[in-house]
A and B are shown apart, each in its own frame.
Chain A
Amino acid sequence: GAVVSQHPSWVICKSGTSVKIECRSLDFQATTMFWYRQFPKQSLMLMATSNEGSKATYEQGVEKDKFLINHASLTLSTLTVTSAHPEDSSFYICSAHGAGGGRGRLAGPTDTQYFGPGTRLTVL
């Protein structure tokens, strides 16, 4: 199956600093990527939809100025947690649509969505 990577896999930072997390689709192009957050013992919560070349779409209750998303290319989306605080400590996971049926075809909403391995953020 398609591969999605994230970097870093874990990060520890001081309160007030900003942290950038990268999400890459390694062997396919992804016009749309998604960012999720997962707290311990809880389910994944969709934060935003990252669209290549346009602004991200945020879910209700997610602060767009706090969680900056940039989708500069068809294989890279970044999430920046600005002025991080301890309550932002969580497991951040990205996903991307795999465009099956050959390169160049845009993935549809029911094409398989592949997830990255996640990034553990700890804010002290």
Chain B
Amino acid sequence: LAKTTQPISMDSYEGQEVNITCSHNNIATNDYITWYQQFPSQGPRFIIQGYKTKVTNEVASLFIPADRKSSTLSLPRVSLSDTAVYYCLDRGSTLGRLYFGRGTQLTVWP
């Protein structure tokens, strides 16, 4: 039931900026776009959420174009500890239920 599409994996090096793009081809008008991070054997951790344009917090930025059919999670200057699976989701029209896709495995190399 996952409605989003994202790359299966990405590689980066420490200190680089990483941008992970997600497709939201079936996003509903009242859906928000949310990103989670998950480390092995842990529950997902909320990263950021937005509706349109740009949202920034202490860990990431989220860019959403006007048509809202895609989103880009930007992680500035990644470190080894950012190696994790990142999930993008549409939220709202499913009454809080989250349907996870396969996520993007980000591997940061030294």
Which A residues are closer than 8 A to B by beta carbons?
A: 1, 4, 6, 32, 34, 36, 43-46, 49, 91, 93-95, 97, 107-118, 120
> Does any Cβ of A come within 8 Å of B95's Cβ?
yes
Question: Count the B residues whose beta carbon is within 8 Å of the partner chain — how many?
Answer: 25
Q: A91-B41, A109-B92, A120-B41 are in contact. Are A114 and B97 (CB under 8 A)?
A: no
**Residue from the list A32, A36, A115, A120 in contact with B96, Cβ < 8 A:** A32
Instruction: Give A110 to B92 CA distance when docked, in angstroms.
Output: 5
Q: Flag if A1 contacts B46 (CB, 8 Å).
A: yes
Contact status B42-A113, CB under 8 Å: no
Q: How many angstroms between the C-alpha atoms of A109 and B36 in the bound complex?
A: 16
B100 at the interface (CB under 8 A from A): yes
Q: Which residue of A lies closest to B2 (CB)?
A: A43
B10 at the interface (CB under 8 A from A): no
A108 CB contacts on chain B under 8 angstroms? 96
Write the nearest CB–CB distance from B10 to chain A, whole angstroms.
16
Contacts A49-B95, A49-B96, A95-B44 given; 7 further ones with Cβ under 8 A? Answer: A4-B43, A32-B96, A34-B98, A44-B100, A113-B46, A114-B46, A115-B43
Q: Residue on A with the closest CB to B38?
A: A44
- Identify the interface centre among A32, A36, A44, A49: most chain B CB within 10 Å of its CB: A44
Known: A34-B96, A43-B102. A115 touches B45 (CB 8 A): yes
